[in-house]
C-alpha cells in the first residue's frame, strides 16, 4: 500500500471524494495517512478528523519566508512517510524544496482544462469567473503532476464540463466539481498507486 499525504486549504470536498473513494475500495493500493492544511480552521481538517485520519497544520501565514514554509511542509510530509502527495484544493504555491524531493510524486487538481485559465493567481472561484468572462462553452478539470511552473506539469487526466446559459461562477464551480473533479482526482490517485502512469518529459501515458 502506498502512503498518501493530502494537502488542503479550504472546504475539502476533493479530500472528501478521496476519503469516500478509499472507503469504497476505489483507490487500489493506496491509503490516506495524513491531511496537512495551510490554514488553521480549514473545514477539510474536520473532514479528515471525522474519517479518523491524522492531521497537521503548517500555516502559511506563520512564515515570512517561503523557503522556511517549504521546509516545514516537507518535514511534515516526510514524517508520515508519504509516497504520494496530493494537492486537493491546496492554494499555496509549493517551492523547490518539496517539489525536488517528490519529483513526479505530487499531483494537483485544477478546475479548468489546462492550458486554459491556469497559472499564478488562477485558483478557486477566480478560474470560473475567467472562463465565463471569456465566454468559452466548455470547461472542465485537470489532474497533473506538479513541477516548478504553476499548473505546468505533465497532465494525467482531464474531463470536460459544459457551460450553460445563465451560469454564475458559483454554479459552474459546483458543476465542475460534481461532474469532473470528484471523479478524476480519485481515479488519478488510484492509477498512480497502481503504477499505471508513465511520465516521459512533460507528458504521460496512462494505462486504463
Q: Which residues bind ligand GAR (CB under 6 A)?
A: 10-14, 44, 88-89, 109-111, 123-124, 127, 177, 181
Question: Is residue 169 a contact partner of residue 188, using CB atoms and an 8 Å limit?
Answer: no
Distance between CA atoms of residues 94 and 69, nearest Å = 9
Min dist. Cβ of residue 138 to ligand GAR (A): 17
What is the bridge-based pairing of β-strands 138-145 and 155-162? antiparallel
Is residue 110 among the annotated active site residues?
yes
Residue in 34, 39, 47, 110 annotated catalytic? 110
Integer Cα distance of 64 and 5 in angstroms = 24
Query: Which residue has its beta carbon closest to ligand GAR?
Result: 89
Distances (CA, A) of 95 to 34, 45, 74: 20, 23, 10
Nearest residue (CB) to ligand GAR, 134 versus 198 = 134
Output the smallest distance, CB 132 to ligand GAR, in A: 15
Q: Which one, 5 or 205, has the nearer CB to ligand GAR?
A: 5
Closer Cβ to ligand GAR, 49 or 195, answer by number: 49
CB contact set of 180 (below 8 Å; sequence gap of 6+): 111, 140, 141, 159, 160, 161
Instruction: In angstroms, give the least distance from the CB of 12 to ligand GAR.
Output: 5
Positions marked active-site? 110
Amino acid at each position: 500500500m502506498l502512503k498518501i499525504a493530502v494537502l488542503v486549504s479550504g472546504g475539502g470536498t476533493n479530500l472528501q471524494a478521496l476519503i469516500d473513494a478509499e472507503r469504497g475500495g476505489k483507490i487500489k493500493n493506496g491509503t490516506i495517512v495524513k491531511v496537512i492544511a495551510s490554514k488553521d480552521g480549514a473545514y477539510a481538517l474536520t473532514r479528515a478528523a471525522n474519517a479518523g485520519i491524522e492531521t497537521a497544520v503548517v500555516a502559511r501565514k506563520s512564515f515570512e519566508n517561503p523557503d522556511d514554509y517549504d521546509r516545514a511542509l516537507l518535514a511534515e510530509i516526510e514524517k508520515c512517510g508519504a509516497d504520494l502527495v496530493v494537492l486537493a484544493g491546496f492554494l499555496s504555491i509549493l517551492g523547490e524544496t518539496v517539489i525536488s524531493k517528490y519529483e513526479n510524486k505530487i499531483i494537483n487538481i485544477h478546475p479548468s482544462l489546462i492550458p486554459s485559465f491556469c497559472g499564478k493567481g488562477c485558483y478557486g472561484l477566480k478560474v470560473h469567473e475567467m472562463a465565463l468572462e471569456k465566454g468559452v462553452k466548455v470547461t472542465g478539470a485537470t489532474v497533473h503532476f506538479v513541477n516548478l511552473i504553476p499548473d505546468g506539469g505533465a497532465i494525467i487526466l482531464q474531463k470536460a464540463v459544459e457551460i450553460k446559459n445563465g451560469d454564475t461562477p458559483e454554479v459552474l464551480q459546483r458543476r465542475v466539481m460534481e461532474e469532473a473533479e470528484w471523479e478524476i482526482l480519485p481515479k488519478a490517485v488510484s492509477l498512480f498507486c497502481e503504477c499505471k502512469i508513465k511520465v516521459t518529459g512533460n507528458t504521460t501515458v496512462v494505462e486504463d
